[in-house]
Amino acid sequence: MARYGEAVFMDAVYLHDVNFSYQLTDDVMVYGGINNLSDEEPFITAYATPVSVRGRYFFMGVNVVLE
């Protein structure tokens, strides 16, 4: 009798993220990237880690120093 249910084994998953940042001036930096570049599917469990349920996603931003 299994106390916590059946053991589930998954194949290995390799995740690739790409990030960049560029300092435009002393006070302004832009950054961005792609997480889950190969768009891996999440594991079939209640907790989809380390793969996000969103799949591949892009992000960008700006950091500004205000003095």
pLDDT tens, per residue, the chain with 67 residues: 557 777 777 777 788 999 999 999 999 999 999 998 988 876 666 555 666 667 889 999 999 999 8
Domain membership of residue 55 (yes or no) is yes
What is the reported pTM? 0.69
- The one-letter code for the residue type at 18 is V
H runs (alpha helix) in 1-67: none
Number of domains in the chain: 1
Please identify which residue in the block is written with the tokens 């690739």.
Answer: 16
Which residues make Cβ contacts (< 8 Å) with residue 45, sequence separation at least 6? 8
Kindly compute the dihedral angle of the four CA atoms of residues 60, 16, 52, 63, in this order, to the nearest 10 degrees: -20
Strand partners, 59: 33
The answer to whether position 38 is within a domain reads yes
Residue 32 lies inside a defined structural domain of this protein: yes
Q: Say if 11 falls within a structural domain.
A: no
Q: Containing domain of residue 27, as a range? A: 18-64
